[in-house]
Amino acid sequence: MDAVDDAIAESVDRLTNEIDADRLHELLTNRDTTDVLEGRDISGEADPEPITRQRIVEPLLDVLGFDDRLREVKGEGEEGRVGALRADYSISLDDIDTESERLLIEAEPIGKGLDDSDHGLGQVRDWLSRRRFRADYGIATDGIRWILVKYDPDTDGTDVLVSVDLTPAFLHHLDTEQSQLGSAHTDRVDEFVAAFERYNLFDVIREAPAVLAAQRKDLTDEFYDEYVSAVFGDPDDPSSTSLISDGVLPPDDATVEHQQLFAVTLTNRLIFVEFLEDKWLVEPGLLNKIVDEYRDGYYPNTSLYKQFIQPLFYDVLATRPSERDAGADHELFEGIPYLNSDLFRPEIEGSGQEPVDEHPFDVRDDELIEIIELLEDYTFSADGRPNDLDPSIIGNVFEKTINKITLSSQSQKELGAYYTPDSITRFCSERTVPPALLERFQEVAGDEEGDYYYLMDWEHDDIDAYDDVYQFIDDLPQLEGIEDDLLDVVNDFRAIDPACGSGHFLTSVINDIVRIRRAIHERKPDPTPAPFTLAKRTVLNNIYGVDIMPQAVQIGKLRLWLSVLEKGETATLQRKMEQEDEDWLTLPNIGFNLRSGNSLIGYIGLEEEGQTTIGSWNQQSVRRRYADVIREVREYKRTDDDEAALEARHEAEDKIRDHAEGLNERIRDDFAEAGVEDITADEIADYDPMHWVVEFAEVYAEGGFDVIVANPPWDRLTADRDTFFARFDDRYDVGFRVLPPSEADARVEELLEDDDIEESWEEFRRQMDQRSTYFSNSDTYDLQDPEVFDRKVGAEDDLSRLFLERAFELARDDSHTAFVLPGNLWLGASAKDLRRHLLDNTDFHTLAQFINGDIFDNVDNRKRICIMAFGNSGETDTVHGAFEHGDTTILNDFDDAAITVERDLLDQFSPESFVFPYIRSREQIDILETIIDHPIISDDTQDWFLNPYRELDRTNDRDRFIENEADGDYPVYGGRNVYQYSYDDTHIDIQKPEFWSVNDGSDDDARQRIREKKQRDLKNAIYHDLNLSGSSMKGAVNDLLQKRRSRELTPDDVLLDCSAPRIVYRDVARPTDERTMIGAVIPSGVVCHNKLHTVSRFEPKPAARDELEEFPLHNIYHRTLTDKEMFAALGLLNSLPVGYLMRSKIDSTVVMYKVKESQMPRLTEGDDWFDYIWQRAARLSCYGPQFEDLREELDIDAATSKQERDRLRAEIDAAALTVYGLSDDEAEYLINDFYRTDDPTLMTDDYFDLVLEKYRQIDA
């Protein structure tokens, strides 16, 4: 501290040698003015910036420990470039654990404002956002004031980490007789040293990401809780009041939706005013002052809302100063600028309805004042100050708020809304916007009929070689007009989020487009427009969104306006306001950029002949058909006159509604053709169809959307009892699944005694059934019902899958798309056709996969999530993929972290269901390529095969189960009743059977139920293997049997697999379990329900008709594999290679088709390793009296000691590595990479060491 204080004293001495002491005193005491050091203040009229650097900044940097700093540092690729970026100082950060390579410092003259867009913090932010310096941290200083900021690439903003003003210290040394300063100067120096001394600063930088994340989370949670309580009420206090329920006083004809929309719009406006206060566009504390004025005045029979708030919105912020009436004539409103925004127009927009006039609405004073006082208790800032609510935090709160904007707290679950982290929205934008614009810029440069190709002296290969849009812009030759043509391309560029929610994805798109606009402008000799201006142009021309909830659309609009406002530097905005530059300050009209509607229902193209896809229209046909809409929308968007905009908007909305009525009739026909014949026109309207070609006619008239980004809803369309009834019973908010079935049933019956609830339940189920039928049967969606192993995959309609297919149709051939989707899209059979479409018809280049952890709040931390990006044409040869657990750090350097996966592996990995592996490393992919180079398990052309199936269904066949062992004759096994090589708890702690059944051949006999199910397989085998004919398979088989043995086919003809020991495996298992494939051989006589899959031991194979003379027909059954082959198969099924393979393709269930299509070598008698594996697997499995005969037949002894069993398991695992053909390196990697649990039962570190030891012995 003393050294820094001495350095300040020496700086003051040096300065007073060149600057008059009184003048220096003025500069130090006038810190809040525009008084800045100038050349005329300095002896010899020297340049003030070098004086500041040499006399203050550099001496302080020396004493702080930064004598290794670099001067005049250029960004990467800036050498020789006109107007190159150049930082005053750079400090290496190689010695600390941070992704930032350096810290940049900008030094300004004493007194120079650090908050302007052109210098100080504005300059630092500009450097950091360019990414050319590979820096995330910067300091802006005028020698007196020091500000450390961190760049946030996710929001394209900066966070202020530390700000220290050394004025007291400089004043102390300038005038030591100023006793009133007391210890202020030492305190300030201490604060400075604590933040900016070399190792202290490095600590701040090292800890900044975690500290900022924690601050943001705490602040978000704190504000959200208070905000929700004020707006929606306290869920823990039934007597609490809220703005929506108690505060808003709607007119008699207003709907509940109107009331909600009014409340949301009101709070949006108040929050926006808070940000205006931060930018000094309105007086700081304005809302508090309004409340004080109202309380202190006398306003009988007039609410605070009517007296002040409504005039502020309608008569001031939405009206030019020259046109304001008496309602704006109050000193509190003086100097407030005109913003001309939809945000302040007195209208409510509902779902497909005419706008509703807001003027009749009122608000009770108590609830309104509560909201205002809540907002005024916080500090709102768009400039990244610590502990402030910035637009990104507000965006998070808005997204969470969407889950509350319904009639009940539960109904939003149907919409599956979740807040997407900034890192993910930024990544999605980066993978779509820059590459899409680069392609379009390359077309401009490479057009041989254009103005530039032959002047550039570039070949097409040179143009196409670029993969970075910024490098391409920088490297373009200086040719007259090329920048204007590139800007025209940007102006015609359109990005859409079809499930936009609060508009979070769109803010990331805005950031990328603004950066690209700025990069082009900087090539021009004219001054680059301010970020505020670039953001306005971007929001107006480039950004579009759709959401099914009108309330979400209102929130989304506010988020877009905030994205414009946060780009404005406070000093610049104030200067424009003082200049009364109304047009510059005016916010864009975006009423037709964000629309409310159902993205999944409605026409994308023109409706003739049922054509609903993008291929059924062209730009000219759209212009002809919807010229009236296009004309009014364009007038609305370009006018600065509020009345003209309102008139144009009404005209456009009327025309859109007129066109939509006719299209809705066609949608009604589509529902009828899909099997929903009783639907009415009103019901279609209630679904709020989104007719894209009408709602966005001006976009389609110019070619459609260039980029699609979204995190669509993840839920399924099902009449879920939990979701519905929790609306009426908050005690069961977590769902009925946690209750015993009998208690849940009883509670539902109790609720259904209410006629209104019963009617709502029936309507809920009816609507769900209508939508499900439409999505399943409509020609609009034909990638939702694939076949796997020649069978249709039955699945509930998944909204995320529907949105993805919708995106294929919304996108042009040259469009780019990025989606956030649940992991089951890559693992489930129901998405097979979507995955196949991606590889066959798009350039699918990016797949980032995660286990959730803490990425998404309120989502199971075990849930798998993925981000995908693709170009909507071509074919995929390779996919770049990466996997991470619990955070999104891989997105920061995805191209470096990603693994390239060849198309051949994706085709072979899962040949039937076409699931994708979770991609974690190059070594993992190489191992999988080796493992899958074998026949699939169910290939019946091999020497033996495994055909798994479910014998009994725990739910549908529960009438065959008995819970009391004493009443049963044989057990019914489930997954918890076996473990690897164990069928009871002799060697490992597993559960005893929960269910039993009787052996009497009656309807209570579980075995009889299995016979009934398997009778169809026997019938099919007889019919097809003996080449029978006839329209009725059943009749043909029974006729033949009557001739051969005088009796028809019966269930008793079925030979049950439980007649002999057989392989079973657990249905429930996760990649993070100790073992994923858990198989055992169970004794004969035991049956299994669906949580324990059975592998067929017998298959009917009739070879001749004379074999059909016996009863029962057990003689025509053949073993699918011998006893020895069965144990060899079990050993391989339980082995590390198969477990490693299954871990890469399952989520929480070992789905049957994934086992059937998995690969396994066929070991048979005489093959290497056959005896080695089957004998060990048999010795592990055949213990106890149940296997006495089989032990004798196979001439083996059971392995009973733990040590011996561990050794045998390890030897099987080691042999399997060899059988699968893994190299030494691959085998060792697999062993080390195999997931290990924290508290393993068998798979300990010692066990893995033993496997490796056995493998090396085998290999030797």
What pLDDT shows up at residue 352?
58
Q: Any alpha helices (H) in 986-1089, and if so which ranges? A: 1006-1025, 1033-1045
What pLDDT shows up at residue 384?
65
**What pLDDT, in 10s, does the model give residues 1220-1230?**
999 999 999 99
Question: How large is the average pLDDT for residues 393-402?
Answer: 78
Lowest mean pLDDT among 450-459, 530-539, 716-725: 716-725
Edge to edge, the sheet with strand 157-165 lists: 70-74, 86-92, 102-107, 135-141, 145-152, 157-165
Residue 84 has pLDDT above 60, yes or no: no
Token couple for 249: 């006083």
Question: How large is the average pLDDT for residues 474-489?
Answer: 93
Cis omega (within 30 of 0) for bond into 527: no
**What pLDDT, in 10s, does the model give residues 461-477?**
889 999 999 999 999 99
| 3-state SS assignment for residue 753 | coil
Token couple for 537: 């142009």
What pLDDT shows up at residue 1041?
96
Domain with CATH 3.40.50.150 in the chain: 754-920
Report the alpha-carbon distance of residue 279 to residue 1225 in Å, rounded: 61
- List strand residue ranges (DSSP E) for 772-842, in order: 787-788, 791-792, 797-798, 811-822
Question: How large is the average pLDDT for residues 1170-1188?
Answer: 98
What pLDDT shows up at residue 723?
67
What pLDDT shows up at residue 1018?
97
Residue 132 has pLDDT above 80, yes or no: no
Would you say how long the chain is, in residues? 1260
Report the alpha-carbon distance of residue 565 to residue 760 in Å, rounded: 44
Lowest mean pLDDT among 196-210, 386-400, 411-425, 898-912: 411-425
Report the alpha-carbon distance of residue 935 to residue 948 in Å, rounded: 16
**What pLDDT, in 10s, does the model give residues 410-452?**
333 334 456 788 899 999 999 999 999 999 999 999 888 887 8
Tell me the sheet residues that pair with 705.
811
Band (pLDDT 50/70/90 cuts) for residue 628 is: very high
Q: φ and ψ at 274, to 5 degrees?
A: -60, -40
Report the alpha-carbon distance of residue 577 to residue 331 in Å, rounded: 17
Q: Residue 394's CB: how many other CB atoms inside 10 A?
A: 26
Q: φ and ψ at 405, to 5 degrees?
A: -85, 70
What pLDDT shows up at residue 453?
79
Q: Give which of 562, 665, 556, 655 is closest to 610, Cα–Cα.
A: 665
Lowest mean pLDDT among 275-284, 746-755, 1051-1060: 746-755
- 978 against 159, higher pLDDT: 978
- 257 against 1137, higher pLDDT: 1137
What pLDDT shows up at residue 759?
87
Residue 111, sorted as left (phi over 0), alpha (psi -120 to 50) or beta, turns out to be left
Residue 82 has pLDDT above 70, yes or no: no
Q: Give which of 1005, 1008, 1010 is closest to 959, Cα–Cα.
A: 1005
**What pLDDT, in 10s, does the model give residues 910-929?**
999 999 998 889 999 999 99
Residue 1068 has pLDDT above 50, yes or no: yes
Helices 1136-1143, 1123-1133: axis angle to 10 degrees equals 50
Band (pLDDT 50/70/90 cuts) for residue 975 is: very high
Superfamily in which the 754-920 domain is placed by CATH: Vaccinia Virus protein VP39 (3.40.50.150)
Contacts of 778 (CB under 8 A, 6+ apart): 670, 671, 673, 674
**What pLDDT, in 10s, does the model give residues 1096-1112?**
999 999 999 999 999 99
Tell me the pLDDT of the chain averaged across its residues.
Answer: 88
What pLDDT shows up at residue 412?
36
Positive or negative torsion for Cα 489, 436, 613, 503: negative
Residue 1038 has pLDDT above 60, yes or no: yes
**What pLDDT, in 10s, does the model give residues 288-309?**
999 999 999 888 889 999 999 9
- 798 against 1126, higher pLDDT: 1126
What pLDDT shows up at residue 860?
78
Residue 718 has pLDDT above 70, yes or no: yes
Question: How large is the average pLDDT for residues 514-519?
Answer: 94
Band (pLDDT 50/70/90 cuts) for residue 1119 is: very high
**What pLDDT, in 10s, does the model give residues 552-591?**
898 899 899 989 988 887 777 777 777 777 778 888 999 9
Residue 606 has pLDDT above 70, yes or no: no
**What pLDDT, in 10s, does the model give residues 867-897?**
999 999 999 999 999 988 778 888 988 998 8
Contacts of 201 (CB under 8 A, 6+ apart): 64, 103, 148, 195
Chain center to CA of 210: 21
Q: Express as a percent the part of the chain with pLDDT over 70.
A: 93
What pLDDT shows up at residue 163?
92
Question: How large is the average pLDDT for residues 672-688?
Answer: 90
